[in-house]
Chains A and B, each alone.
Chain A
Amino acid sequence: MGKIEWAMWANEQALASGLILLTGGIVGVAGQFRGWQFAAYAIAAGAFVCLLEYPRSKRTKGTSVERTGQYCFTVCVKSFGPLTRNYYVRAFLHAALSVPAGFLLATVLGCVCLGIASLIYLAAAIRGEHWEPILPKKEMVRKPDDSMKNPPQNPPPRPPPETRRKRVDDLEGAAYDNPIPVGE
Chain B
Amino acid sequence: MGNFAANEGLSIFVILVWLGINAFLFVHFYMAFLLERWFYTRVLLGQALSWARAPAACLNFNCMLILLPVCRNLLSFLRGTIQCCSRTAARQLDRNITFHKLVAYMIAFHTAVHIIAHLFNFEYFMDAQLNRNSSLLPFVLSEIGSGDNASFLNPIRTNNTSPTIVLFTTIAGLTGVAITLALILIITSSMEVIRRSYFEVFWYTHHLFVIFFIGLVFHGAGRIVRGQTLPSLQTNDPEVCSTRVEEWGNNGSSCAVPKFAGNPPQTWKWVLGPMILYVCERIVRFYRSHQKVVITKVVMHPSKTLELQMKRKGFHMEVGQYVFIQCPSVSRLEWHPFTLTSAPEEDYFSAHIRIVGDWTQALYEACAGDQTEPQDAWKLPKIAIDGPFGTASEDVFRYEVVMLVGAGIGVTPFASILKSVWYKRIQNNQDVFTKKIYFYWLCPETEAFEWFADLLQSLEAQMTEKGVMDFLSYNIYLTRWKEKEAAHFRVHHEAENDPITGLKQKTLYGKPNWDNEFSNVAAKHPGCI
Chain A positions near chain B (C-beta within 8 angstroms) = 1-5, 8-9, 12-13, 16, 20, 23-24, 27-28, 31, 33-34, 56, 59, 62, 65, 102-106, 108-109, 112-113, 116, 172-173, 176, 178, 182-184
Q: Which residue of A lies closest to B492 (CB)?
A: A176
Partner of B119, one of A13, A56, A106: A106
Q: How far is the CB of A91 from chain B (nearest CB, A)?
A: 17
Can you give 26 A-B contacts (C-beta < 8 A)?
A1-B200, A3-B358, A4-B197, A4-B198, A5-B198, A8-B193, A8-B194, A9-B194, A12-B188, A12-B193, A12-B194, A13-B188, A16-B187, A23-B116, A28-B119, A31-B119, A31-B123, A34-B123, A62-B197, A102-B164, A103-B164, A105-B167, A106-B119, A116-B185, A183-B484, A183-B485
Q: Sort chain B's interface into a size bin.
A: 35 or more
A3 to B361, CA, bound (A): 14
- Taking CB atoms, residues of chain B closer than 8 Å to A28 are 119
A12 to B485, CA, bound (A): 45
Does B180 have its Cβ within 8 Å of any Cβ on chain A? yes
Q: How far is the CB of A120 from chain B (nearest CB, A)?
A: 10
Does B493 have its Cβ within 8 Å of any Cβ on chain A? yes
Q: Are A108 and B487 in contact (CB under 8 A)?
A: no
Q: Are B181 and A182 in contact (CB under 8 A)?
A: no
Q: Are B198 and A105 in contact (CB under 8 A)?
A: no
A62 to B358, CA, bound (A): 14
Does B504 have its Cβ within 8 Å of any Cβ on chain A? no
The 7 closest A-B pairs by CB, nearest first: A183-B488, A105-B163, A12-B188, A4-B198, A13-B188, A1-B200, A105-B164
Most buried by A among B116, B188, B191, B198: B188
Partner of A1, one of B120, B193, B201: B201
Q: Are B200 and A4 in contact (CB under 8 A)?
A: yes
Known: A33-B123, A108-B164. A20 touches B184 (CB 8 A): yes
Q: Are A13 and B185 in contact (CB under 8 A)?
A: yes
A106 to B121, CA, bound (A): 11
Q: Which residue of B lies closest to A111 (CB)?
A: B164
Apart from A8-B198, A9-B188, 17 more pairs, CB < 8 Å: A4-B198, A12-B194, A13-B188, A20-B184, A33-B119, A103-B164, A104-B164, A108-B164, A108-B167, A112-B181, A116-B185, A182-B487, A182-B488, A182-B491, A183-B487, A183-B488, A183-B491
- Taking CB atoms, residues of chain B closer than 8 Å to A1 are 198, 200-201
B99-115 contacts to A, CB under 8 A, are 112, 115
A9 to B184, CA, bound (A): 12
Q: How far is the CB of A56 from chain B (nearest CB, A)?
A: 8
Known: A1-B201, A182-B487. A116 touches B181 (CB 8 A): yes
Q: How far is the CB of B170 from chain A (nearest CB, A)?
A: 12
Partner of A12, one of B120, B163, B191, B487: B191
Q: Which residue of B lies closest to A109 (CB)?
A: B180
Q: How far is the CB of A148 from chain B (nearest CB, A)?
A: 15
Does B45 have its Cβ within 8 Å of any Cβ on chain A? no
- Taking CB atoms, residues of chain B closer than 8 Å to A116 are 181, 185
- Taking CB atoms, residues of chain A closer than 8 Å to B193 are 8, 12, 56, 65
Does B370 have its Cβ within 8 Å of any Cβ on chain A? no
Q: How far is the CB of A50 from chain B (nearest CB, A)?
A: 14
Q: Which residue of B lies closest to A105 (CB)?
A: B163
Could you mark each residue 108-150 of chain B with 1 if its beta carbon is under 8 Å from any beta carbon of chain A, else 0? Answer: 0000100110011011001000000000000000000000000
Does B346 have its Cβ within 8 Å of any Cβ on chain A? no
Q: Which residue of A lies closest to B173 (CB)?
A: A105
